[in-house]
């Protein structure tokens, strides 16, 4: 659950969150060493391997290595001192990590992968206990394997359940920031992104450009063909926008027939080329209405570039450029520097 929250709020610090995950699960493995059941008078079993498997399945080799090192060192040195049992116990933890890395790679958690990993880890424990124990060993070893497998499958069920819960929450959070019709960012999310991109532009001294887009004579589409036709035009225009801009650019529906794009690493000269390409793409696109009718539209666009224009005036100047494009004939692009 903590890992899901880390992923949601610290996407730019993935390695850091993996280290934290490994640390937490390593300490959890240490705690499990104090919740044991006896194999015989001198040897006790625990489930310290499970935190290692969890760390690798969620955080890859980084989290797995951190958790394994903590468990390895604590079992070898601190739990009951250095002995043959502690050495083999530490080796068991290291072997489990290697097995997990080989099978639970690419963070693809599945029943088959987990079952193989769990079975090999249990097999490694059998080998270790066979070396440590001299007599009367197969019944307790069999008992351990049974309980370990059951506990491991319960852990898988829990992980899959939490993953589905995290995915559902992520989808809900994403939906709250998206326009229901086009799937683009909504106006509220766009304002937050705009603040973030301006801060990043200031920090790294890379220009960004705000492009405002408006569909020409969109009211006529609704009046002539109906609102479902207008919705079809809006959703298809969103696809044209996605195809025209890079994945790193942020596209939003501001409301009605107005759209906005933040174009990263783009100065006032380059935006003219990009905006003109968008204008041509829209002009040449055939929009299919719900009744099968083919329709064409045009757009007008206005741009303003930061830091050429200060943050407080960026939207205002881009809107002025858009207004100039519409009043000078539509189906054209203007930039704020030409006003």
Residue numbers annotated as active site = 257
* Dist. CA 78–CA 30, nearest whole Å: 10
Hunting for tokens 């069920």 — which residue is that?
Answer: 157
* Dist. CA 18–CA 9, nearest whole Å: 13
Q: Which residue from 145, 138, 171 is spatially nearest to 49, judged by alpha carbons? A: 145
Q: Which residue from 61, 89, 68 is spatially nearest to 26, judged by alpha carbons? A: 68
Task: Identify the sign of the CA torsion 81, 85, 91, 97.
Answer: negative
Q: What is the DSSP string of 144-178?
A: HHHHHHHHHHHHHHHHHHHHHHHHHHHHHHHHHTB
* Dist. CA 324–CA 321, nearest whole Å: 5
* Dist. CA 48–CA 138, nearest whole Å: 21
Beta carbons of 81 and 131 less than 8 angstroms apart: no
Radius of gyration of the chain (CA): 30
Tokens at 297, concatenated: 């539209």
* Dist. CA 284–CA 299, nearest whole Å: 11
Helix count and strand count (H, E) for the chain: 11, 9
Distance, C-alpha 186 to centroid of its chain: 19
Hunting for tokens 């309980």 — which residue is that?
Answer: 147
Reply yes or no: is the peptide bond before residue 307 cis, omega within 30 of 0.
Answer: yes
Beta carbons of 232 and 287 less than 8 angstroms apart: yes
Using CB atoms within 10 Å of the CB of residue 203, give its burial: 0 to 12 exposed, 13 to 18 middle, 19+ buried: exposed
């Amino acid at each position: 659950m903590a890992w899901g929250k880390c992923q949601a709020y610290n996407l730019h610090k993935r390695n850091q969150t993996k280290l934290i995950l490994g640390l937490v699960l390593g300490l959890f493995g240490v705690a499990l060493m104090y919740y044991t059941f006896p194999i015989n008078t001198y040897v006790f079993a625990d489930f310290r391997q499970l935190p290692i498997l969890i760390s690798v399945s969620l955080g890859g080799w980084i989290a797995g290595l951190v958790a394994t090192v903590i468990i390895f060192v604590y079992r070898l040195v601190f739990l009951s001192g250095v002995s043959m049992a502690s050495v083999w116990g530490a080796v068991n933890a290291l072997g489990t990590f290697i097995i997990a890395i080989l099978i639970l790679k690419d963070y693809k958690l599945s029943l088959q992968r987990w079952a193989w990993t769990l079975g090999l880890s249990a097999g490694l424990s059998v080998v270790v206990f066979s070396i440590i124990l001299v007599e009367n060993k197969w019944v307790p070893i069999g008992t351990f394997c049974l309980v370990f497998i059951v506990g491991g499958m319960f852990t898988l069920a829990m992980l899959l359940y939490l993953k589905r819960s995290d995915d559902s929450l992520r989808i809900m959070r994403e939906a709250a920031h998206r326009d229901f019709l086009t799937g683009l960012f909504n106006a509220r999310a766009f304002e937050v992104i705009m603040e973030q991109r301006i801060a990043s532009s200031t920090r790294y001294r890379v220009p960004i450009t705000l492009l405002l887009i408006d569909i020409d004579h969109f009211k006529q589409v609704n009046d002539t063909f109906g609102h479902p036709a207008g919705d079809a035009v809006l959703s298809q225009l969103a696809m044209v926008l996605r195809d025209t801009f890079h994945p790193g650019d942020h596209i939003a529906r501001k409301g009605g027939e107005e759209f906005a794009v933040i174009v990263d690493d783009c100065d006032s000269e380059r935006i003219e080329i990009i905006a003109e390409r968008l204008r041509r793409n829209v002009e040449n696109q055939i929009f299919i209405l719900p009744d099968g009718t083919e329709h064409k539209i045009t757009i007008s666009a206005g741009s303003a570039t930061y830091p050429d224009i200060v943050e407080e005036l960026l939207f205002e100047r881009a809107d002025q450029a858009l207004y100039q494009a519409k009043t000078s004939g539509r189906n054209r692009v203007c930039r704020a520097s030409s006003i």
